[in-house]
Amino acid sequence: MMLYSFKELLLIAAAALVIDWAVGDPKWPTHPVIWIGRLIRLLEKRLAPERFAGSPHVVRLLGAALTFVTLLVSGGLMWLIVWATDAIHAWLGYAVSAWFVSTTIAVKGLREAAMLVYKPLVEGNLEDARKYAGYIVGRDTSGLDEREASRAAVETVAENTVDALVSPLLFALAGGAPFAMLYRAANTLDSMVGYRNDKYKYFGWCSARMDDVLNYLPARLTGVMLTIMAAITPGLNGRRAAKAVMAFAGRHPSPNSGIPESAVAGALGIELGGTNVYFGVRSERARMGWPLRPLVPIDIVRTVRLLYGVSIILFAAVISIWLVIR
């Protein structure tokens, strides 16, 4: 049951973006994603998929149960919170909705995380750059050189332009804070259990596929917006960004992540992807873009500018639609 009209959802989404630009991820009270993560671990413990390790089909069913229960609880509780606050006063409902939608967006948080890698790099402090890169990527970072630390930050910002901006905002426009939180739950599931390793190959399959489905359209819209931003940003190349998406996106193991990463690589004239190390094992990732020049730390800043550019496009689009239909 929808609590707000589309016109109201437009304003809630716009307000959420402004809150994220200004405040970023809340430090207190506990971030909703932390509670979602605790729910996932609790459900995983109760389902105990390791008991059925010899029955992949059973483990898949348990993984599906984990996925749908997490989504229903996350979205359902958010709906109850919005309904209760709206019942007290409409403006309280709007404020609570905008606040919770802002917690599903992480534009400022992404910038801050990326700059934690960038600043030590330009100061020549590779050890700190490696440490902070380790906070935002799953690969081993202890042996990264300047280029590889820069690549880790650029890839993270590019990929999360979908996960931490476009997708949650689009789901907020579709159904307010409950839909945005449902999306964030799906994304959290993928980050926690959506791996292809021995432990989660079957149990995390449903979570990984759900994340792929929910990000499918937002990822492609993100590719378009990144191309537009590259076309209007001095020093970047929109046409090359579009060509890179067509040439390289399909090589990425994810059906969605290759789009923003290849768009950024093309826009900047650099190559992303290459050799990553996970738990001491080298893994070759698809290379995207044309290495017209070496990847350098300032490319982190350029990628962050593209992220903010996309957020401005979304904000302008939301406000423009509201003005037209009001």
Question: pLDDT tens digits for 83-120?
Answer: 999 999 999 999 999 999 999 999 999 999 999 999 99
CA-CA distance, 121 to 129, in Å (whole number)?
6
> Within a domain: residue 61?
yes
Residue 27 structure tokens: 């430090």
> Within a domain: residue 1?
no
pLDDT at 54: 85
Nearest to 317 by CA among 221, 177, 236, 245: 221
pLDDT at 28: 64
- Residue 136 is part of which domain span? 6-325
Q: How many domains does the chain have?
A: 1
Specify the higher pLDDT residue, 88 or 253. Answer: 88
As a whole number of Å, the CA-based R_g of the chain is 20
Average pLDDT over residues 225-251: 97
CB 25 within 8 Å of CB 33: no
> Within a domain: residue 128?
yes
Q: How confident is the model at residue 53 (pLDDT cuts 50, 70, 90)?
A: confident
Nearest to 172 by CA among 319, 298, 6, 59: 6
Q: How confident is the model at residue 195 (pLDDT cuts 50, 70, 90)?
A: confident
> Within a domain: residue 251?
yes
Q: How far is CA 317 from CA 11, 158, 172, 314, in A?
A: 11, 21, 14, 5
Q: Assign 3-state DSSP to the chain and report helix, strand, coil percentages, each to 5.
A: 75, 5, 20
> Within a domain: residue 292?
yes
CA-CA distance, 68 to 33, in Å (whole number)?
16
Q: What percent of the chain has pLDDT over 70?
A: 99
